[in-house]
Chains A and B, each alone.
Chain A
Amino acid sequence: MWLMWIYRILILNHEISMASIEPIILGLEGTAHTAGVAVIKGREVIVNESATYFPPQGGIHPREAAIFLAKEFPILIDKVFKRLPFKIDKIDGIAFSQGPGLGPCLRTTATVARAISLRLNIPLLGVNHCIAHVELGRTVTPVDDPLVLYVSGGNTQLITFLNGRYRVLGETLDIAIGNALDTLGREMNLPHPGGPHIEKQAQSGNKLLTLPYTIKGMSFSFSGMVTAAKKLLHDHSIPDVCYSFQEYTFAILAEATERALSCTKKPSVLLTGGVAANAHLQTIIQKVAQEQDTSFQAVPRNLAGDNGVMIAFAGTHLFNTGKILSVEDSQVKPRWRTDQVQVGWIE
């Protein structure tokens, strides 16, 4: 009888320690136009579902996007919960994108997260969206301590880990590269998001037109380049403008990356974020890594854009370091900067 009890306690302890190594985390992403719901265990993705809002015309309207998220989250969550190979109460934490992003979208996502957390009595984890993109790369690719080029529709930053935080070495001084590509795409009547369409158009362009080259140390700015590219559309073909725009903007990103590498001497480069899916940008940044004798990794194409998996991976670190968020403190942070997060999970 006693032996039996000891055995049971041992098993129980074992299960608890297993749980602390590999917690099961639900990740909810909703900072802009993508609703993402995923469940992961350690490094393993169990379910991953997402839905993306495509505006019928123009760019993303925050309210329209939030309405879309509110409509999609229940459907996605239902789908995910049905496909789980275990009961819902096995989930150890609910991670959600607390910021930065569009206010209405963030509030919708936070409401969903709080509701699930209260209903199932599972702790909340508030994840910084930018850091989630970095943590995704650190989880699914073999990089450790990389210099990160994070390129997406909302952000363009050079990030690296220094003195207990992810520091932003350089960033866009106005609009993000993805935003620049989308804006230019709209000008040519290409569908949203413009990035992939511009990439395709650029493949048939071959004439390099002159554009400004704006780099300020390790920071850059793209809005003036969009204006200059728009003007070129009057006299030149769409493929040539797309080709030139990509060549110029990517050269700027490459140069800033090389400068940051040369300053920090980091052993690897990680390309992450939605624009990381661009094959041409991948080739260019890979050449930069070669130039500075470092290794290169890009996140897989299917996880480049916003998704619930990355939120869950980052949430796992918060869970493991005991950074539980109470519902009272879970207000969204639309302007939450990368370097404001205390990173307790990296030595």
Chain B
Amino acid sequence: MRKRKASSIVLFVLGILFMLPVFILVMNSFKTYDEVIKSFVTLPESLYLGNFAEAARLMNYGVAVRNSLFVTICTVIVCTVISFFASFGISHLKGKKQTGFYLLFSLGQIIPFHTIMIALSVMMTNLNMNNSLITLIILYSGFHCAFGIFTYFGFLKTVPLSLEEAATIDGCGTLRLIWQIYFPLVLPTTVTIVVLFFLWTWNDFLMPSILISDSALRTITVNMYIFKGSTQSNWNLFMAALVISIIPIVIVYLFTQRYITSGITAGAVKQ
């Protein structure tokens, strides 16, 4: 009994210590410039909110959040749909065709983004496709669908063929088969895929930093990176900007904690 209580408290305290850098950052983001240059380790004199408003205005926060949301949501939808249909197709093909497509898409799982980033930057510039959020969505979808197909395929393999045969005998067409039989079946797998696609796209830095130079099209992470370079010694603004850049994903996490946890676990085990 006492042992249980002690270990619960120790774990909780360790957790708080682990998050200490975040708490210190949030604490300091409430300080005015004069306060912050005096000390980083004292509590703020008041809950000064001016930093957040000023940082949000200077970094065009609203636009960046909107861009990130647009790219992330579109990528998640497009990529999940194409991954599902492709794995449905591949799982129904036979013999060499199936193996061929499977191996082709598996290749995408081991190619690091850094291997194609130079080619992408040259090609997108030549095609006049840089500086476009749509390009980001297309590239993310193409890049992540390898994982989506791999994961869906792993599940669809286990669905007994008799289920589909029974439905077909009852006069169920391919589209209805997909919608009424397969869609409900793959729902848990879809949660995994959606969670991972969301996090990967939202948190990505390198692709938009290479392909986007128009300041109105920056995503939230790139925006913060650029802001760091331009704030100079306005430490209070830098910290406030950092806090508001982190907030959206933490809010998403708090509301979808269960799905994110199970999604990441399932995704890792399936790799």
Pairing of A with B:
no
Binding site for A on B (CB under 8 A): none
Binding site for B on A (CB under 8 A): none
